Amino acid sequence: MTTYTNEFNRSIEQPEAFWAEQARRIPWFTTPKTVLSYDDQQHARWFVDGELNICHAALDHHVDQGRGEQPAVLWDSPVTESKRTVTYREMRDQVALFAGALRALGVEKGDRVVIYMPMVPEALMAMYACARLGAVHSVVFGGFAPHELAVRIDDAQPKVVVAASCGIEIDRVISYKPIIDAAIGQSQHKPDACVILQREQQQAELGDNDHDWAELMAKAEPAECVPVKGSDPLYVLYTSGTTGKPKGVVRDTGGYAVALHYSMEAIYDVAPGEVFFSASDVGWVVGHSYIVYAPLLRGCTTVVYEGKPVKTPDAGAFWRLISEYGVKSFFTAPTAFRAIKKEDPDGKLLAQYDISCLKALFLAGERLDPPTFHWLDDLLDVPVIDHWWQTETGWPIAANLHGLDPMPTKAGSATVPVPGFDVQVLDREGEQAKPMEQGSVVIKQPMPPGCLVGVWGDPQRFHSAYMAAFPGFYLTGDGGYFDEDGYLFIMGRTDDVINIAGHRLSTGEMEEVVGAHKAVAECAVIGIHDSLKGQVPVGLVIPKDGFEGDELALENELIALVREKIGPIACFKQVLVVNRLPKTRSGKILRKLLRNIADGKEYGVPSTIDDPASLQDVHDAMKDRSVGAAHEARQV
């Protein structure tokens, strides 16, 4: 039996013993006695009666163990031409002070704090400061528009919002304060105060309820770590679901800390003192887990990069960072490498850097498409590892366990289930699919530590979104299959969620925005293949009877509306006005068929279609407007 099989079987057959052992590897104030229990939806809960503080485990503990002078954070910001090193001791002290500042604004254990910040060390400090107080942070990605921020403020009901004065994109400085003011203007819930980190690239004008970060810090008293229960929430992170309202994924504290610590060893193979670089953003789950919490829980150094894979200044940026900081393990999304490959197809820029420190490259956020895998595999001398996970699980569900038992790689596969995750593929009837047979990918309860404990304020939604489809299993929302060797292939979502440049967005939400326009009678938004971003959305719109306006103007208005309501990150840049949409006789738009046409595939006319001519109409419209590969699609 291989080391992997042995460890995996133990994790499934004796989950309590397995995770109790892992729990002993992180510092608790009170060791948990109850390792595994279940909530009333039969969903696993871990370490409910243990007491800890993740800020203590990630910062104070390491300072106490003699890591005070080791860099905790290496900040590299080509967009501001700045670099900064923050040691563990500095990090702990800054976090303690900012926690004191938040407390002075009334933030206590259990209160929520919304954080809207770019990739600066203070974003991590704000997150850890909340954790230190036992407050619950909710970080919102900077690419989301005021409306999206408002929806999250209303749902999380924060006492305080922490933000920076601006974020910086390749070609522009983005003022955050007007976005925050607009969001608070729109939200029903009004936070008591905003804390603004003033950046020299653009200072914000502060209002009555606004506080300057630096001024607060100057007068703050440091706060100690507040003990919280293993099951107490650490954060709420909103993610796209199938409806317009994002889901607030709630993460606990104890299970998350244990799972992340385990993953740093078993999956990423990094030891205390080594450098880990995850090129994501603190606004996404990858950022939460592998920029902010996991590296520091493990006593590593984390690289915080405020830049892009290309154009800041060139496609050699990642190689430079790896070489300059001695990165051992590097993690990003495949789309970043597709962008690099486009600018530097032969990887020539790599020759300028010594990246012998790098021992493995990890990719996630979307499927690692075989061409990108082969490009990287040919270019680099280290394992290129695709691994699959989602906001809800908080850490990888399937991976090649580089630190435990590396296996041969298969292009297009995320390799095998990670210990703790009893992954199964079910057919429509809920029966286990045979090898090579595609179905719904589910996880049998108990899910391991680290996974979501609920949807914020909405147990019913948790049940309907994840637990109802197959009782006893968590529904991942992904489709896929196991091959004959037990390798898992994740092939894409089975719902309305699409993946744009490694970012998860909901076409349902875009449809709500488009459908709300006064001239729109009906619409469909579909995700189509894009060679750089994986997928991009395309809108198909039927105007209301009697619409006599300019169709092009309407299309542009709709593009602007999605950008205004959801944000630039939705990449909603193509809309087509059509006369009719293909539907079933019961009125369901045939979205999969539309996607197949846009992706240039062969398609048949389903027997359930109401009006077969509508299909040809839409196909012609897509061809005329050069949507995706519609010109290659053929009706068979």
Contact 50, 57 (CB under 8 A): no
Q: Confirm or reject binding of residue 142 to ligand COA (CB under 6 A).
A: yes
Supply 308's token pair: 């892009």
Which member of 433, 455, 490, 566 binds ligand AMP (CB under 6 A)? Answer: 490
Stretch that binds ligand COA, among 129-137, 466-474, 475-483, 500-508 (CB under 6 A): 500-508
b/e burial code for range 55-87 (CB count within 10 A of at least 16 → b): bbbbbbbbbeeebbebbbbbbbbbbbeeeeebb
Q: Cβ atoms within 10 A of the Cβ of 161, count?
A: 25
User: Which of ligand COA, ligand AMP, none binds 333 (CB below 5-8 Å, type-dependent)?
Assistant: ligand COA
| Residues of this chain, 557-596, that bind ligand COA according to CB under 6 A | 568-569, 571
Which member of 49, 154, 169, 458 binds ligand COA (CB under 6 A)? Answer: 169
Give the three-class secondary structure for 34.
coil
CB of 577 vs ligand COA, minimal distance in Å = 22
CB nearer to ligand AMP: give 116 or 388. 388
Question: Within a 13 Å sphere around the CA of 587, how many CA atoms are in the beta-carbon half?
Answer: 1
Question: HEC string of 244-285?
Answer: CCCEEEEEECHHHHHHHHHHHHHCCCCCCCCEEEECCCCCCH
CB nearer to ligand AMP: give 26 or 115. 115
Q: Confirm or reject binding of residue 433 to ligand COA (CB under 6 A).
A: no
CB nearer to ligand COA: give 310 or 498. 310
Q: What is the DSSP letter of 584?
A: B
- Per-residue contact track with ligand COA, 441 to 470, x per CB under 6 A? ------------------------------
CB nearer to ligand AMP: give 124 or 249. 249
Stretch that binds ligand COA, among 233-241, 278-286, 396-404, 506-514 (CB under 6 A): 278-286
CB nearer to ligand COA: give 160 or 333. 333
Q: Confirm or reject binding of residue 569 to ligand AMP (CB under 6 A).
A: no
Contact 505, 480 (CB under 8 A): no
b/e burial code for range 592-611 (CB count within 10 A of at least 16 → b): ebbbbbbbbbebeeeeebee
Q: What is the DSSP letter of 630?
A: G
| Residues of this chain, 290-329, that bind ligand COA according to CB under 6 A | 308-310
User: Which of ligand COA, ligand AMP, none binds 308 (CB below 5-8 Å, type-dependent)?
Assistant: ligand COA
User: Which of ligand AMP, ligand COA, none binds 139 (CB below 5-8 Å, type-dependent)?
Assistant: none
Stretch that binds ligand AMP, among 84-92, 180-188, 387-395, 535-543 (CB under 6 A): 387-395
Q: Confirm or reject binding of residue 360 to ligand AMP (CB under 6 A).
A: no
Q: Confirm or reject binding of residue 281 to ligand AMP (CB under 6 A).
A: no
Q: Cβ atoms within 10 A of the Cβ of 351, count?
A: 10
CB nearer to ligand AMP: give 284 or 325. 284
CB of 391 vs ligand AMP, minimal distance in Å = 3
Amino acid at 134: G
Which member of 79, 234, 364, 615 binds ligand AMP (CB under 6 A)? Answer: 364
Which member of 51, 60, 478, 599 binds ligand AMP (CB under 6 A)? Answer: 478
CA pair distance 107, 88, nearest whole angstrom: 24
User: Which of ligand AMP, ligand COA, none binds 522 (CB below 5-8 Å, type-dependent)?
Assistant: none
CB nearer to ligand AMP: give 333 or 404. 333
CA pair distance 337, 343, nearest whole angstrom: 10
Residue labelled with tokens 């809960």: 45
Q: Confirm or reject binding of residue 278 to ligand AMP (CB under 6 A).
A: no
| Residues of this chain, 236-255, that bind ligand AMP according to CB under 6 A | 239
Contact 595, 535 (CB under 8 A): no
User: Which of ligand AMP, ligand COA, none binds 414 (CB below 5-8 Å, type-dependent)?
Assistant: ligand AMP
CB nearer to ligand AMP: give 288 or 619. 288
Q: Confirm or reject binding of residue 539 to ligand AMP (CB under 6 A).
A: no
- Residue positions counted in the chain: 636
CB of 475 vs ligand AMP, minimal distance in Å = 11
Stretch that binds ligand AMP, among 24-32, 164-172, 374-382, 472-480 (CB under 6 A): 472-480
Which member of 152, 328, 338, 367 binds ligand AMP (CB under 6 A)? Answer: 367
Which member of 499, 506, 507, 574 binds ligand AMP (CB under 6 A)? Answer: 499
Residue labelled with tokens 């690099």: 340
3-state helix, strand, coil in the chain (%, to 5): 35, 25, 40
Residue labelled with tokens 């993946």: 499
Which member of 174, 411, 469, 605 binds ligand COA (CB under 6 A)? Answer: 174
Stretch that binds ligand AMP, among 350-358, 360-368, 423-431, 454-462 (CB under 6 A): 360-368
CA gyration radius, the chain: 24
Q: Nearest Cα to 254, choosing from 272, 234, 284, 282?
A: 234
CA pair distance 217, 97, nearest whole angstrom: 6
Q: Any idea of the CA torsion for 146, 152, 155, 161, to the nearest 10 degrees?
A: -90
Contact 497, 525 (CB under 8 A): no
Supply 462's token pair: 């948790």
Q: Nearest Cα to 269, choosing from 332, 330, 353, 354?
A: 330
CA pair distance 393, 398, nearest whole angstrom: 11
CA pair distance 277, 322, nearest whole angstrom: 8
CB of 543 vs ligand COA, minimal distance in Å = 25
CB nearer to ligand COA: give 279 or 453. 279
What's the start-to-end Cα distance of the chain, in Å? Answer: 49
Determine the Cα angle at 140 with ends 180 and 205, to 5°. 25
CB of 554 vs ligand COA, minimal distance in Å = 20
User: Rounded to the nearest 5°, which phi and psi values hold at 556?
Assistant: -65, -35
Which member of 191, 309, 365, 417 binds ligand AMP (CB under 6 A)? Answer: 365
Cα torsion 306, 311, 313, 319: sign:
positive
CB of 110 vs ligand AMP, minimal distance in Å = 25
Supply 175's token pair: 């003022």
Q: Confirm or reject binding of residue 502 to ligand COA (CB under 6 A).
A: yes
Contact 301, 278 (CB under 8 A): no
Q: Confirm or reject binding of residue 175 to ligand COA (CB under 6 A).
A: no
Chain contacts with ligand COA (rule: CB under 6 A) = 142-143, 167, 169, 174, 279-280, 284, 286, 308-310, 332-333, 335-336, 339, 364-365, 501-503, 568-569, 571
Q: Which residues bind ligand AMP (CB under 6 A)?
A: 239, 285, 364-368, 386-391, 414, 476-478, 490, 493, 499, 504
